[in-house]
Amino acid sequence: MERRATCHCGNLALLCTGEPIKVSLCHCLDCQRRTGSLFSVAAFFLKDQARPAGGPAKVFRRGSASGFDVDFHFCGECGSSLWWEPQRMPDRVGVAVGAFADPGFPMPEQAVWCDERHRWLELPDAIAGHDRSPARGGQGG
Ligand SMILES: [Zn+2]
Ligand SMILES: [Zn+2]
Is residue 63 in some structural domain?
Answer: yes
Is residue 56 in some structural domain?
Answer: yes
Is residue 29 in some structural domain?
Answer: yes
Distance from C-alpha of 117 to C-alpha of 100, rounded to nearest angstrom: 24
Residues, Cβ < 5 Å to ion ligand 2: 26, 28, 31, 138
Q: Which ligand has the minimum distance to the alpha carbon of residue 111?
A: 2
Residues 135 and 54: beta-carbon distance below 8 Å: no
Query: What pLDDT score was predicted for residue 140?
Result: 47
pLDDT digits (tens, 9 = 90+) for 46-70: 999 999 999 899 999 999 888 899 9
Domain interval for residue 92: 2-129
Mean pLDDT of all residues in the chain?
93
Confidence of residue 135 (pLDDT cuts 50, 70, 90): low
Query: What pLDDT score was predicted for residue 141?
Result: 45
Q: What is the DSSP secondary-structure string of 39-59?
A: -EEEEEEEGGGEEEEESPEEE
Q: How far is the CA of 123 from the centre of ligand 1 (A)?
A: 30
CATH number at residue 104: 2.170.150.70
- Give the pLDDT mean for 11-19: 98
Residues 82 and 40: beta-carbon distance below 8 Å: no
Q: How far is the CA of 73 from the centre of ligand 1 (A)?
A: 11
Q: Which ligand has the minimum distance to the alpha carbon of residue 58?
A: 1
Is residue 101 in some structural domain?
Answer: yes
Is residue 96 in some structural domain?
Answer: yes
Number of domain units in the chain: 1
Q: How far is the CA of 16 from the centre of ligand 1 (A)?
A: 18
Is residue 113 in some structural domain?
Answer: yes
Q: How far is the CA of 131 from the centre of ligand 1 (A)?
A: 33
Of 134, 111, 105, 113, the residue nearest 124 (C-alpha): 111
Distance from C-alpha of 26 to C-alpha of 35, rounded to nearest angstrom: 11
Q: Considering the entire predicted model, what is its pTM?
A: 0.91
Q: How far is the CA of 33 from the centre of ligand 2 (A)?
A: 9
Residue type at position 33? R
Is residue 123 in some structural domain?
Answer: yes
Q: How far is the CA of 50 from the centre of ligand 1 (A)?
A: 18
Query: What pLDDT score was predicted for residue 66?
Result: 81
Is residue 91 in some structural domain?
Answer: yes
Query: What pLDDT score was predicted for residue 114?
Result: 95
